């Protein structure tokens, strides 16, 4: 795995610790994974096939895909946050300067 991805993941975790939207998204993802794991135990699968499928799933590194997906979401949320801050912050400033002149 590329070094940049590991650094990106650390940054992502740091962001998620402070971001409620991302925390909600992460917990949703974790819940889905839990549900999938419980389904795995409920559905009868012929011997051998079970191991074969689980083996193939566990050998796939899904992290880059998740990180990429989360990154685009994070970028979207943060752009929205910046837009809100700028939008809310610029209005009173303009009013103040208009009053001052």
> Based on CB atoms, which residue is closest to Zn ion, 66 or 77?
77
Nearest distance, CB of residue 9 and Zn ion, angstroms: 14
Closer CB to Zn ion, residue 28 or residue 40? 28
What's phi and psi for 2, nearest 5 deg?
A: -70, 150
End-to-end CA distance of the chain: 58
Residue nearest to Zn ion (CB): 19
Output the smallest distance, CB 67 to Zn ion, in A: 13
Q: How far is the CB of 70 from Zn ion (least distance, A)?
A: 9
Residue number, 67 or 77, with CB nearest to Zn ion: 77
- Tokens (6 digits) for 9: 């993941």
Residues found near Zn ion in the complex (CB under 5 A): 19, 22, 74, 77
């Amino acid at each position: 795995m590329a070094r940049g991805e590991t650094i990106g993941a650390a940054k992502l975790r740091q962001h998620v610790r402070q971001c409620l939207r991302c925390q909600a998204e992460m917990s949703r993802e974790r819940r889905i994974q839990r549900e999938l794991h419980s389904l795995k135990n409920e559905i009868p699968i012929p011997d051998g096939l079970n191991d074969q499928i689980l083996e193939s799933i566990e050998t796939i590194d899904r992290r880059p895909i998740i990180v990429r997906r989360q990154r685009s979401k994070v970028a979207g949320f943060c752009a929205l946050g910046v837009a809100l801050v700028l939008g809310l912050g610029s209005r009173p400033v303009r009013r103040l300067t208009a009053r001052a002149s």
